[in-house]
Amino acid sequence: MNIPKYSLENQKVVYFFLAILLIGGVISFFKLPKKEDAPFVIKTAVLVTQYPGANPHEVEKLITEPIEREIQSMTDVYQIKSESYFGLSKISIELQPTIDPDYMPVKWDELRRKVANIQPKLPSGASTITVNDDFGDVYGIYYALTADEGFSYKDLRGWAQHIRTQLTPIEGVQKVMLYGEQTEVINVKISTSKLSSLGIDPTSIMGILQKQNVQVNTGDIATDIYQLRLRTEGTYTSLEDIENQLIVSKDGREVRLGDIAT
Report the share of the chain in percent with pLDDT over 90: 35
Asked if residue 1 is part of any domain, the answer here is: no
Asked if residue 61 is part of any domain, the answer here is: yes
**105-120 pLDDT, tens digit each:** 899 999 999 999 999 9
121 plus 142 within the same structural domain: no
94 plus 161 within the same structural domain: no
Q: What's the first-to-final CA gap in the chain, in angstroms? A: 102
**13-51 pLDDT, tens digit each:** 888 889 999 999 999 988 887 766 666 778 899 999 999
How far apart (Å, rounded) are the C-alpha atoms in residues 238 and 243?
9
Query: What residue numbers bound the domain in which 126 lies?
Result: 44-132
Mean pLDDT within 76-96: 93
232 plus 210 within the same structural domain: yes
180 plus 201 within the same structural domain: no
The domain that holds 99 is classified in CATH as 3.30.70.1430
Name which residue leads in pLDDT, 195 or 56: 56
Residue 2's pLDDT band (cuts 50, 70, 90):
confident
How far is it between the farthest Cα atoms of the chain?
119
Asked if residue 15 is part of any domain, the answer here is: no
83 plus 162 within the same structural domain: no
The domain that holds 211 is classified in CATH as 3.30.2090.10
123 plus 57 within the same structural domain: yes
Q: How many domains does the chain have?
A: 3
> Three-state DSSP class for 197?
helix
**195-236 pLDDT, tens digit each:** 888 888 888 888 888 887 776 677 788 878 888 877 776 678
222 plus 153 within the same structural domain: no
Name residues whose C-beta falls within 8 Å of residue 245's C-beta, 6 or more positions apart in sequence. Answer: 208, 209, 212, 256, 257
115 plus 167 within the same structural domain: no
214 plus 239 within the same structural domain: yes
DSSP per residue, 212-254: HT------EEE-SS-EEEP----S--SHHHHHT-EEE-TTS-E
Q: Does 154 have pLDDT greater than 80? A: yes
48 plus 128 within the same structural domain: yes
Asked if residue 5 is part of any domain, the answer here is: no
Mean pLDDT within 3-20: 85
